[in-house]
Amino acid sequence: MRAVIQAVSSASVRVNGGEPRPIGPGLVILLGVKDTDTLDIVPKLAEKCAGLRIFKDENDKLNLSAKDLGYSALVVSQFTLYGDTKKGFRPSFIKAARPPLAVDAYELFLAEINKQGLKDVQHGEFGADMQVSLVNEGPCTIVIDTDEWHKGENKP
């Protein structure tokens, strides 16, 4: 799985033209699921996202997490995170998980991020038309790729 995380002052998502689902300070998390992912990594990914120390403390150091501050999160499914453009300019999405796995992983991530003690978790809907608006908290975008957790391990 891959999570692209942006620290924000505020954000919202509008799903299928409906009412905006806003958050205050916190995280926007774009979540991508690859065809080789398994659900066992989801709890750890949610914990990592909520615990990232990317917000300033009283000494102006990046030592606080959204969890520490009771901030919010906006989670949006993003299959395009696995676009492959090696063959040209049109991306291929072959490595993106098919809906049964992707939906299960997305729903499990939402449940797990809700357990992390954040003030509010808003979300998009898998496969819907979504417009995301955000005001970022400075130049801080983090990418967590769970494939990196397995480097150096013997994989079957």
Radius of gyration of the chain (CA): 16
Q: What span, in angstroms and rounded, lies between the C-alpha atoms of 125 and 17?
A: 12
- In whole angstroms, what separates CA 33 from the centre of its chain? 10
Neighbours of 103 (CB within 10 A): 16
Residues annotated as catalytic are 80
Q: What span, in angstroms and rounded, lies between the C-alpha atoms of 99 and 48?
A: 24
Torsion sign over Cα 109, 111, 115, 117:
positive
Instruction: Kindly state the tokens that stand for 21.
Output: 């689902």
